[in-house]
Chains A and B, each alone.
Chain A
Amino acid sequence: MAYYLIRRLLMAIPVMGLIALIVFLLLRLTPGDPAQAIAGDQATPEQIAAIRDSLGLDAPLMSQFVTWTGNMLRGDFGYSLISQRPVLEMIGQRVGPTLALATVAMILTVVISIPLGILAARRHGQLLDRFVMSLSVIGFSVPIFVIGYVLIGIFAVNLKWFPVQGYKPLADGLWPFLHRIFLPGLALSSIYIALVSRMTRAAMLEVLREDYVRTARAKGLSERVVLFRHALRNAAIPILTVVGTGFAMMISGVVVTETVFNVPGLGRLVVDAVLARDYPLIQAIILLTAGTYVVINLLIDISYAMTDPRIRYQ
């Protein structure tokens, strides 16, 4: 297993290097100028040129790339061109809300969707199954921003149970944290609840038809043991895959939820950075997101072995 882990981590290095190069070049090929974003619309070309010069944007591309990668390998992701703040500090300020939002959304997803999927499989073809499947269709079809506005309209504006917007870190207390994160978490989880409940249902249906399940029932085991110990454990691999990749997708794709609920997370930061052509910030966020995917994929693979002892990595 240790050998496998080291091999996988080493394989990630060229992948990350390639991503760094592609992102760097793509950003330079995209029209737009960070100096213009700093100077504003009314600035003259002369003012913009002075800012470009001070930011080193006129240096040859190769020299810019070598400097950037060299600094990055030393752990220095540079400074934002726009705000002149350290990129890692800016990401550090914003990563907390996004991680918290993704975690809450994933907890809600797992807690709601897996039981729903199991129940739907158990009651296959019955009213409950149809109800769960209808819910999942709604979850897939209705955009997150619509679900967000509906939740805000009902629970924040009318019932006043939750605040309309904003974020409080866990350090401010569990209640303030949950009070503000619940609605955005629920909105974000909607699509994943739909996805995971469908996936769970399908995987469970497949497993429930297997001989070993029939044998378990024939042995007189209780339905609970059959479902959770025999069936769910064997159906877990596709579910884990969806949950794991879903978590990575949440981290990188929470822009809409963060915007609707005004959560100051990474999603809004990256949109801002793209609009302002803040190259070092965009590069760092994309690299970190790619790194997150690599790590999460690795964790998913490890979890396969933990849930299914037949799987061994050499």
Chain B
Amino acid sequence: MTITGLRALGMAAMAACWMQAVPALAETELNVVMQAPLRTLDPHLSTAQIVRTHGFMVFDTLLGMDADYKPQPQMADYAVSDDGLTYTFTLRDGLKWHDGSDVTAEDCVASLKRWAANDAAGKTMMDYVASIEATSDKVLVLTLAQPFGHVLELLAKPSPVPPFMMPKRLAETPSGEQVTDMIGSGPFKFVAEEYRPGDQAVYVKNDDYVPRSEPMSWTAGGKVVNVDKVVWKAMPDMQTSINALQSGDVDLIEQVAIDLLPLLQMNDEVEYGVLNPLGIQVTGRFNHRLPPFDNADVRRAAMYALDQEQLMQTAIGDPEYYTLCVSAYGCEVPLASDAGAEYLTGSADERMAKAKELLAGSGYDGTPVLMMQPTDLTILSTQPIVAAERLREAGFTVEVASMDWATLQSRKNGWQPVAEGGWNMLFTYWGVTGIWNPLVHALLDGSGSDTAWAGWPVSPEIEALRKEYLVSGDLEDQKRIASEIQSIAYDQGFYFNAGEAQTVAAWTKGIADLQPGPIMLFWGVTKPE
């Protein structure tokens, strides 16, 4: 080879290196460890928080809810008739599904019907609805047969299950069957090819999405996406997640175990904070159909015996991240109330004395309380043990049955005697968005119906008040009714409210503009290139 040839080869190699060194347009990719793995995709069918968060990535809602708990226009503007019976929704311009087709009012009618068939509150609303019809490509009209005060609130709710809009062909999927084709009109597109159930879900920015012009506020306002790609990673081991955050492998952890926070506090490159101001409520539920909790005085005695402080200490540990909130609806919400708080407050000793006195006079015959304990769910594995000790001290006979969460979930739905696989008490927790009013709060259902959430309390008074609440459109009136419901529910021992806990997120320095919200929100967030 000649010198010229060698030089040409060298220049070609340098050019190749240079071309490699100049990156294509840099892509900002946000890597996030979510609080749970995403195993299912249909946000109409699942009440799981992770599926709801996924839903808000891919799908949009007619209305959004802002930080003041006010429904706001999102996909559609709305008008309400003077008699409050007709709601007209007009879709805004430029709405497109991720497959490129236009969003039509007919798609939205089908979506609303599917949502209402799957959501308990939606089903209740449909009892009051005369019709939902598309009157043009862009307009749909919902007509009530009788007054119902919560149409806008339900269409904007970020609680399980939000009324997500999807194309008609998907919305017509038969009841109980999952939609797995993720075509929405939301700010992100789901990348089906990169989805590994239980391990990874990938979303890319939807370039066709036109955000609203209003400022972002929870699920309302302009959902402006500032990153090109969001990758959700499931990491079953919290220590691995924290190591990954500290080494820069991931940018954000949605929920950090509180007891591992000190590890992050030592690292200057990591920040942390509460992004969901509402948090969760831990609850101990009694089975009202079986002895001994078929007796109201026995339930009251158990409520006195249990101690919020002790249970939250056990579950959370750091008092900075829990509150001894007595409101059944959560403490930061418009309906927050301390009605009936005497069943939850006072010193542990005073409460124990009341419990013993009540139990002695209740006719309790020593029937064992079978308390289910999930061993594989950290936040709920310890409360049953502590609660059992307090109940024993009050005079109860208690057996703690250890099992995995899936077994507990299935067992709680059966109401057969304990000897045949039944149960008396369980602990679980609820996102405050799932309990923030009597319409969505499953534990305040006093119908005793077989189709109600496990525990099946019966209270005609509460049912009458819940009906009154459904009709009411006035906030002050709603507060009064909610407060009365809470007071009766505590007095009847519907369930024990163990208090509220905050979830803490952690992220690497440089990640900015994280949006507070009722769930993890990915619009607004920025990551340096």
Instruction: Please report A residues at the B interface, Cβ cutoff 8 Å.
Output: 30-33, 36-48, 50-55, 80, 82-85, 90, 93-94, 149, 152, 156-157, 160, 163-166, 259-262, 264, 268-269, 271-272, 275-277
30 contacts between A and B (CB under 8 A): A31-B406, A31-B407, A31-B421, A32-B406, A32-B407, A33-B410, A33-B413, A36-B410, A37-B39, A37-B409, A39-B46, A39-B47, A40-B51, A40-B160, A42-B453, A45-B451, A47-B45, A52-B176, A54-B176, A82-B197, A83-B40, A83-B198, A85-B197, A164-B243, A165-B244, A261-B240, A262-B235, A269-B198, A272-B37, A272-B197
Given contacts A275-B405, A277-B406, contact A165 B249 (CB under 8 A): yes
CB closest chain-B residue, reference A269: B198
Residues of B within 8 A of A42 (CB): 47, 160, 430, 434, 442, 453
Complex A-B, nearest 8 residue pairs according to Cβ-Cβ distance, in ascending order: A50-B176, A54-B176, A40-B47, A40-B48, A83-B197, A32-B406, A42-B47, A33-B410
Give the complex CA separation of A46 and B123 in angstroms. 11
Give the complex CA separation of A267 and B68 in angstroms. 45
The answer on a CB contact under 8 Å between A47 and B118 is yes
Is B525 at the interface (CB under 8 A from chain A)? Answer: no
Given contacts A44-B452, A50-B175, A157-B246, contact A275 B197 (CB under 8 A): no
Give the complex CA separation of A190 and B69 in angstroms. 55
Residues of A within 8 A of B39 (CB): 37, 82-83, 272, 276
A55 to chain B, nearest CB (A): 8
Residues of B within 8 A of A165 (CB): 235, 240, 243-244, 249
- Mark contacts of B359-374 with chain A using CB atoms, 8 A cut-off: 1 yes-contact digit, 0 otherwise: 0000000000000000
Residues of A within 8 A of B467 (CB): none
The answer on a CB contact under 8 Å between B45 and A51 is yes
Listed residue (B199, B235, B246, B403) with the most chain A CB atoms within 10 angstroms of its CB: B199
Listed residue (A45, A149, A160, A259) with the most chain B CB atoms within 10 angstroms of its CB: A45
Given contacts A42-B430, A44-B442, A54-B175, contact A31 B240 (CB under 8 A): no
B436 to chain A, nearest CB (A): 13
In the complex, which of the residues A50, A80, A164, A259 contacts B249, with contact meaning CB atoms closer than 8 Å?
A164
Residues of B within 8 A of A46 (CB): 451
Residues of B within 8 A of A157 (CB): 243, 246-247
Is B90 at the interface (CB under 8 A from chain A)? Answer: no
Listed residue (B246, B430, B451) with the most chain A CB atoms within 10 angstroms of its CB: B451
Residues of B within 8 A of A269 (CB): 198-199
Give the complex CA separation of A264 and B202 in angstroms. 15
Residues of A within 8 A of B409 (CB): 32-33, 36-37, 41
Q: Which of B176-209 contact A (CB under 8 A)?
A: 176-178, 180, 196-200
Given contacts A166-B249, A260-B237, A262-B240, contact A43 B47 (CB under 8 A): yes
Q: Which of B13-47 contact A (CB under 8 A)?
A: 37, 39-41, 45-47
Residues of A within 8 A of B430 (CB): 42
Give the complex CA separation of A144 and B428 in angstroms. 32
Is B274 at the interface (CB under 8 A from chain A)? Answer: no
A30 to chain B, nearest CB (A): 8
B231 to chain A, nearest CB (A): 11
